[in-house]
Chain A
Amino acid sequence: MKSQSAQFFVEGVLCDAQIIEGVLWLKTDEGIQTLDLRNRFQTQNAGQKDGKTITAPMPGKIIKIITEAGSDLAVNDTVIVMEAMKMEYQLKAVKGGTVRKISVQVGDQVQLGQLLAEIEVG
């Protein structure tokens, strides 16, 4: 539910930071500020706007494959679920079509931008 807290310098500013239940907390001498991460990726198109690929929006782990290769897809259907920073993210189809290929397996650790699925649009 929460990351380790850490302290580091960024742009010459001393920062304390921690992610707790999907929210980034940051302390500097300006005070405390937050960034809600829960909507950032959860239903965002992860991948190209043409809908032909789904790529990982952040480093993390694949925890569920929802739509297998060969199945039909409607807009906003969840294809893959990944986990990062103790939060789950549903990666969804931007356009309808058919899943051509799933390039990962459950349990795989993936990098930012890594190709996860290819979709035949239309």
Chain B
Amino acid sequence: MNKIKKVAIANRGEVAVRIIEACRELGIQTVLLHSEADIQSIAYRMADETFLLGGSTTAESYLNIPKNVEGALKTGADAIHPGFGFLSENADFAQAVTDSGLIFIGPKSETIRQLGDKVSAKRLIEKAGVPTVPGYMGDDQSIQKLVSEAEKIGFPVIVKAAAGGGGRGMKVIRNLKEATELIESAQREGQSAFGSPIVFLEKYLDRAKHIEFQVFGDQFGKAVYLLERECSVQRRHQKIVEEALSPSLTPELRKEMGEAAVRLAEAASYNGAGTVEFLLQDGKYYFLEMNTRLQVEHPVTEEVLGVDLVQAQILTADGTFEQWLQEDLIPHGHSIECRIYAEDPYQGGIPSTGLLGFTEWPEGEGRRFEVGFEEDDRITSYYDSMIAKVIVWAEDRHEAIERMIETLKDVTVFGVHLNLPFLVQILDHPEFRNGKFTTQFIQQHFPEGLKGVQDQPHNKSLLLKSLKNLEVLAQEPVSETPFSGPWATEWRHR
């Protein structure tokens, strides 16, 4: 008999929709734990029940542990799915969930704690026999020690807040002269942003690729690797384009890295979905960090392997999951995901907010859309500006790139600016196409998005004539009969 009959979703946007859809397919009821602003979202309308956590700020809602637990208990949920971001890697939250008698869909809180702290995670992986980036993570946090260690490692060196994550709390030190100032700054920021001034140092791999392995541990802690994703297209450590598989791995390297990732997962007795991130440079790989949650880019793995990771997570938490056999995980084709951000790429990517108007996601073969909002929803500035993801699958990488470009050009969203034209430029760039791009790609070729690279189309004549058409239409009663105005030769009212 299944334990989980109702899942409370402690998240928002397109991932909340994703989890609801997975639950529906399993015949499980859903409760959305949401903020005030997210009443205007697709997930709110799709969930079987909803529970208002509080106001619109993340502190009042998605980061509020007692409120989330209260919502799940009050609505009679059996389990909580934390999605990604927010509380998904918060060991205290996982603990609070299980303490209250609910099931946490994810690894155990002790596992999250152990792997969430970069320092202890690194020690674990050294025990599991996986190479790490040369660095220093000692207890001696005096400035003299840190500067001398940085010099030993060899510049460029990156100083990271031990309690940071998701690309935040990191600085690059290029020479001895700036070492003291940058290290002290990182310590101060670590204290104020993450509550801890502890930093560690790593050699900065300045032309590396970001290769991550999806791992999955069953309820007994037996793990397999679901191959890799390449996520080197990043802006300020925030991923924009991801793909499976990586164009940069040989089968031998894939097997070696995958097995290393599994060794780590099993050393940690990992349950559920996790991701082991590596940096690959000059044929050598180094452990970066392990993420103890479902990742944004999980769909590309699902597409090439034909699996459903969210369902697997739920079934694992339910105790009924049948683990995959490593030899059965054979990839087919190539998949690419683009993150759709509400921002103006022609103005360097400044966030765009507003009321959504007409939206059209062009369905078709090998196309998958994960969308959080639709017409009449308001996109606000309270949260991350990602509002959707576009995923394509094709027989090979070249075809996948072409299919993605075509799909992006056919997307229509009115009301907020989106990064669509920026994504097209990225995918069409020779360095992306030939697979040689590294994590420096965006910085090198698009440091300010499309600003300075391409101008927004501005056809004054078309704009004014379209305006005239709309004004005329507004005067007419809504009707199905065709109309011909002074410049329109044919129109259709939606």
Task: Find out whether the CB atom of B357 lies under 8 angstroms from the CB atom of A33.
Answer: no
Q: Which of B71-115 contact A (CB under 8 A)?
A: none
A10-B462, A10-B488 given; A20·B475 CB < 8 A: no
Contact of B458 among A6, A13, A33 (CB under 8 A): A33
A20-B355, A85-B474 given; A33·B459 CB < 8 A: yes
A31-B421, A33-B456, A59-B475 given; A7·B467 CB < 8 A: no
A5-B414, A8-B491, A24-B470 given; A35·B357 CB < 8 A: no
Cβ contacts B463-494/A at 8 Å (1 or 0 each): 11111011101110010000000011111111
Instruction: Name the distance in Å between B489's Cβ and chain A's nearest Cβ.
Output: 5
Task: Find out whether the CB atom of B466 lies under 8 angstroms from the CB atom of A10.
Answer: yes
A6-B470, A16-B412, A85-B470 given; A21·B490 CB < 8 A: no
The yes or no answer to B461 lying at the interface (CB within 8 A) is yes
| A12-B160 Cα distance, complex, nearest whole Å | 56
Task: Find out whether the CB atom of B462 lies under 8 angstroms from the CB atom of A24.
Answer: no
The yes or no answer to B457 lying at the interface (CB within 8 A) is yes
Task: Find out whether the CB atom of B463 lies under 8 angstroms from the CB atom of A26.
Answer: yes
Instruction: Name the distance in Å between B449's Cβ and chain A's nearest Cβ.
Output: 14
The yes or no answer to B221 lying at the interface (CB within 8 A) is no
| A25-B469 Cα distance, complex, nearest whole Å | 13
Task: Find out whether the CB atom of B494 lies under 8 angstroms from the CB atom of A26.
Answer: no
Instruction: Name the distance in Å between A55's Cβ and chain B's nearest Cβ.
Output: 16
Task: Find out whether the CB atom of A11 lies under 8 angstroms from the CB atom of B461.
Answer: yes
Task: Find out whether the CB atom of B414 lies under 8 angstroms from the CB atom of A33.
Answer: no
Q: Total interface residues on B, using CB and 8 Å?
A: 39
| A27-B414 Cα distance, complex, nearest whole Å | 9
| A24-B463 Cα distance, complex, nearest whole Å | 8
The yes or no answer to A80 lying at the interface (CB within 8 A) is no
| A16-B490 Cα distance, complex, nearest whole Å | 12
Contact of B357 among A8, A11, A15, A25 (CB under 8 A): A25
What residues of chain B lie closer than 8 Å to A8, measured between beta carbons?
466, 469, 488-492
What residues of chain B lie closer than 8 Å to A29, measured between beta carbons?
409
| A105-B12 Cα distance, complex, nearest whole Å | 49
Instruction: Name the distance in Å between A9's Cβ and chain B's nearest Cβ.
Output: 5
Task: Find out whether the CB atom of A7 lies under 8 angstroms from the CB atom of B491.
Answer: yes
Task: Find out whether the CB atom of B466 lies under 8 angstroms from the CB atom of A26.
Answer: yes
The yes or no answer to A2 lying at the interface (CB within 8 A) is yes
| A23-B219 Cα distance, complex, nearest whole Å | 53
- Additional A-B contacts beyond A10-B462, A32-B414 (16; CB < 8 A): A5-B494, A6-B469, A6-B491, A9-B490, A11-B462, A12-B489, A17-B467, A18-B414, A18-B470, A19-B467, A21-B354, A27-B414, A28-B457, A32-B413, A32-B418, A35-B467
Residue numbers of B with Cβ under 8 A of A are 354-355, 357-358, 409, 412-415, 417-418, 420-421, 456-459, 461-467, 469-471, 473-475, 478, 487-494
A–B complex contacts, Cβ < 8 Å, 30 sampled: A1-B355, A5-B414, A6-B469, A8-B466, A8-B469, A8-B489, A8-B491, A9-B490, A10-B487, A11-B461, A12-B489, A16-B358, A17-B470, A18-B358, A24-B463, A24-B466, A24-B467, A25-B358, A26-B459, A26-B463, A28-B459, A29-B409, A30-B459, A31-B420, A32-B414, A33-B457, A37-B467, A58-B471, A59-B471, A85-B470
Residue numbers of A with Cβ under 8 A of B are 1-13, 15-21, 23-35, 37, 58-59, 84-85
